[in-house]
Structure 1
Amino acid sequence: MRYMINYDLMETLRNTNQWLGATAQAIGSYPAFSMIPNPGMEWMRAWGEVTERTFQRMVVKPDWGIPSITGEDGKDHLVTIDVVVPEAFGDLIHFNVTGRKPRDRKVLLVAPMSGHYATLLRSTVMSLLPDCEVYVTDWHNARDIPVSAGKFDIEDYTLYLVDYMRHLGPDTHVIAVCQPAPLTLAATAYLAEEDPKAQPRSLTLIGGPIDPDANATDVTDFGRRVTMGQLEETMIQRVGFKYPGVGRMVYPGLLQLASFVSMNGEKHAKAFQDQISAVARGEAGDHDKHNKFYDEYLAVMDMTAEFYLSTVDRIFKNREIAKNEFTVAGKAVDIGKITTVAVKTVEGTNDDISAPGQCIAALDLCTGLPAEKKASHVEEGAGHYGIFAGKSWRNNIRPLVLEFIDANSPKTAKKKPANKNRAA
């Protein structure tokens, strides 16, 4: 029960800060105060506006915000989001571009379940839509899932991916970003044995911890320093009475956000100080650089306790994927069984979350895959976010990924060179 009290206490503090911000904004905007100009009142209004927006965004799932794209015909085509496979813990969604012929490239974009919503990949989706039929794993906030839906750990996550791949069929090209990379590799290996005809054509792993010990970061060091008992005692709480998932054991999004912010506390503090000054001067806007970033960064979701704990224990501490010892529902998953799916890894030299070396370890695990079906790319100067959504992705990585897809598609393989950037 005390865990539920802690959960509700965090929500109470968040709600109180949101209310204080809204109140300060209302007082600072009171028309009568304009009769006697006072910079203090303007600062109060600015502080209130930034504070209210900050704490309100923490419990709201961002919208995808992709109303249309411009097609080859120069016309704007509306984009609708269709739920293709509905599930309790996550849906497979399709970005349907109306009024255009289906694209030959069918891409399954596996979004991370690491505190943020799948909308974190918004810019990635937008960059792929003109050239691909894009499907995304849209994971649900655990606080909104009733306890009656059961558990959800990394094995369940893997089986969800297996179901999605089976549904989309063998002409699919899978791109996994960050956290899901090891489990996506395992899901592909699972299909290689259980249902070979459902395997995707290619698998691109971007900045994922296939072998966390290959190049240690603060994230992997944290997993080594703490015991599972400490994690369960300090990080796990029960969802409070306000949400449909009341009573479910979770790693709360607000607690995750506190961890995210603490890693670069001074940087975030300065960003908010600068934003308050900008609002006070009338130089800020709803869609300025600060709000565009923090509207997404502050929107966090709860993870089921079993998913979080099994990730730390089995992926980071015991390195089951790195050792090729992962099991799903009691069945051993042998990554060496992947023999036909082309695999590419992408890393950034400045990635401080999944450092270079962690992701490329996947190629060594694919012992049954011929060298011509293995490829890797290390982006110079790119950080974690940049390798899937930033300038490095748009200008350098995305063209390479599309080329890799085409090189491993029946319709375009003869027109494209083999994987010329393949790993040695």
Structure 2
Amino acid sequence: MQYMMSYDLMETYRNTNQWLGASALAMASYPVFSMVPNPALNWMAAWGEVTERTFQRMVVKPDWGIRTFTCKDGKDHLVDIETVVERPFGDLVHFNVAGRETRPRKVLLVAPMSGHYATLLRSTVKSLLVDCEVYVTDWHNARDIPVSAGKFDIEDYTLYLVDFMREMGPDTHVIAVCQPAPLTLAATAYLAEQDPDAQPRTLTLIGGPVDPDAAATDVTDFGRRVTMGQLERFMIQRVGFKYPGVGRKVYPGLLQLSSFMSMNAERHANAFSDQISRVMRGLASDHDAHNRFYDEYLAVMDMTAEFYLSTVERVFKNREIARNVFVVDGHQVDIGKITNVAVITVEGAKDDISAPGQCIAALDLCTGLADDKKASHVEPGAGHYGIFAGRSWRDNIRPLVLDFIDANSGGPTRRPGKAANRNAAA
């Protein structure tokens, strides 16, 4: 599978379907056909519209769509997305609300590199902008990075986080969502040993596989069933001629998307069938619920082969983070060296990707951290997405995380009467 031909074949299939959708829509929309109304032509136009949009979105990076923010003064302030640190494989960006007084809470939101862009956290960013200065790790699509930029594996990812934390300074509160939770924990421990003054004040780990064996899911079972040789043979391809990263070995976004959708194939099929029906009846719109969800869900990015393979081998199979034997740049990280950073874990009771138990394992690894600097929360009834972007996040988890930040900020921002480091379980 490690040929540019395979990559270009997938892109050709995607491009062809986009063209078929556009052609069907154009053909069925000829004015002359309106003289004799035909339901088949209406269906053809609706199918074409949905199909063209679906396959087009697969290669488009979504926009953040956060242009203005209404502050307490009642005015709309422009939001400038500024690049603070620019690197080949990812940038550190700041959502600067123009004309607003700087918020006392400075938050680094670590986005996952697991197939989707950092824009997947759009609603999370919006909710935090109210009370915080928000910074986000904006990872790049591997197909757009020339081979000359070198490799990028989980050690490089961890060192990027170290550099971002150093750039932001010690008054930072880090929130890691899903996949980066174990690597963010390792980056914090690395700083605890190498540069203690650059450590963040708090670390919030949301639904991450710190110890994948703590609770089995389909993701962990897959990691156990397949060998590294099988993964490298069937999942890795070389970027084709169309993109700047031509020749780079990647786990293609289109291949990832097919895996995502196959897990709930019937539900996705019904969703698209229903959308075609809504378009036929004139009930669909550019920003309806279907398009808002799938515009983001279908926008996938390639991961470097070394990042994907090292994640599976070192985090899931060998459990290097869980066993506290993770090595970064020749240095074995000791998570027990974290002594000043308050740590809270958040899990969803119905999370089928990173099940309860996988993330809270981080607290057991922090052997040098006092109990009053540890906290955990399991959100009843919440799935994976809900704990960082859904109603559970907005109503319950976000206030809890902000209280935890305030209780451990060392500043005057703590709201009185709120519990600080509480442990809750469902």
What's the TM-score bracket when you normalise by the shorter of the two chains? over 0.9
What is the deviation of 1:412?
3.0
Confirm or deny: 8 A CA contact 1:372 1:422 kept in the other structure: no
Tell me which residue corresponds to 1:422: 423
Q: How does 1:17-166 map to 2 (within 5 A)?
A: 17-166=17-166
Q: Deviations over 1:314-363 (max 9, x none)?
A: 00000000000100011000000000000000000010000000000000
User: Deviation string for 1:202-257 (max 9, x for gaps)?
Assistant: 00000000000000000010000000000000000000000000000000000000
Deviations 1:152-205 (A, max 9, x none): 000000000000000000000000000000000000000000000000000000
Letter of the 1:128 counterpart? L
1:372 corresponding residue in structure 2: 372
Are residue 184 (structure 1) and residue 184 (structure 2) matched?
yes
Does structure 2 retain, via aligned residues, the 8 Å contact 1:376–1:422? Answer: yes
Cross-structure match for 1:326? 326
**Structure 1 residue 413 displacement after superposition:** 6.9
Number of residues paired by the alignment? 424
Task: Compute the displacement of 1:419 (Å).
Answer: 2.4
| Aligned residues of 1:210 and 1:359 also touching (Cα < 8 A) | yes
Match of 1:396 in 2: 396
Does structure 1 conserve the Cα–Cα contact (< 8 Å) formed by 2:2 and 2:233?
no
Rounded to whole Å, the distance in 2 between the matches of 1:378 and 1:173 is 20
Distance 1:413 1:6 in 2: 54
Counterpart Cα distance in 2 of 1:26 and 1:413: 58
What is the deviation of 1:24? 0.4
TM-score when scaled to structure 2?
0.98
Q: Is the 8 A contact 1:372 1:418 kept in 2?
A: no
Which structure 2 residue ranges, 5 or more long, are not aligned?
none
User: Is contact 2:406–2:414 with CA below 8 Å preserved after alignment?
Assistant: no
Contact 1:327 1:333 in 2 (8 A): yes
Q: Is residue 374–residue 419 contact of structure 1 (8 Å, CA) maintained in 2?
A: no
Partner SS for 1:367:
coil
Partner in structure 2 of residue 267 of structure 1: 267
Q: Are 1:373 and 1:419, in contact at CA under 8 Å, matched by a contact in 2?
A: no
TM-score normalized by the length of structure 1? 0.99
Question: Displacement of 1:74 after TM fit?
Answer: 1.1
Gaps of 5+ in 1: none
1:250 match: 250
* Equivalent position of 1:411 in the other structure: 411
| 1:176 alignment partner, SS class | strand
CA–CA distance in structure 1, aligned partners of residues 375 and 313 of structure 2: 29
Alpha-carbon distance in structure 2 between the residues aligned to 1:30 and 1:415: 62
Task: Write the letter of the residue equivalent to 1:73.
Answer: D
Paired with 1:70 and 1:214, the residues of 2 have a C-alpha distance of 43
Q: Measure, in 2, the Cα distance between the counterparts of 1:301 and 1:3.
A: 18
Distance 2:29 2:383 in 1: 40
CA deviation profile, 1:49-102 (whole Å, cap 9, x unmatched): 000000000000000000111101111111010000000000000000001110
Q: Percent identity between the aligned chains?
A: 80
Evaluate the alpha carbon distance shift between residue 243 and residue 414 of structure 1 in structure 2; reply closer, same or farther with a 3 A threshold: closer
The Cα of 1:293 is off from its aligned counterpart by 0.1
Q: Residues 103 and 297 from structure 1, CA distance in 2 versus in 1: closer, same or farther, beyond 3 angstroms?
A: same
Letter in 1 for 2:320: E
Q: What is the alpha-carbon distance in structure 2 between the residues aligned to residue 8 and residue 68 of structure 1?
A: 39
Where in structure 2 are the equivalents of 1:261-300 lying within 5 Å? 261-300=261-300
Q: Matches of 2:2 and 2:393 in 1, distance apart?
A: 45
1: CA distance, partners of 2:35 / 2:401: 60
Q: In the TM superposition, what is the alpha-carbon distance from 1:422 to its structure 2 partner?
A: 3.2
| Aligned residues: CA RMSD | 1.1
Quick one: which amino acid aligns to residue 140 of structure 1? H
- State the 1:414 CA deviation: 6.6
Corresponding residue SS for 2:3: helix
- Cα pair distance change 1:372/1:418, threshold 3 Å: farther
Q: Is the 8 A contact 1:89 1:142 kept in 2?
A: yes
What displacement does 1:423 show? 6.5
| C-alpha contact 2:105 2:132 (8 A) present in aligned 1 | yes
- Is 1:202–1:408's contact at 8 Å kept on the other side of the alignment? yes
SS in structure 1 at match of 2:161: helix
Counterpart-to-counterpart distance in 2, 1:346 and 1:314 = 23
How far does the alpha carbon of each residue in 1:14-69 deviate from its partner, in whole angstroms, 9 at most, with x for none? 00000000000101111110000000000000000000000000000000000111
**Structure 1 residue 126: Cα displacement:** 0.2
| Alignment partners' CA distance in 1, 2:43 and 2:424 | 55
Report the equivalent of 1:341. Answer: 341
Q: For 1:210-229, what aligned pairs fall within 5 Å after superposition?
A: 210-229=210-229
CA offset digits 1:263-312 (Å, max 9, x no partner): 00000000000000000000000000000000000000000000000000
* Contact 2:214/2:358, CA 8 A, preserved across alignment: yes
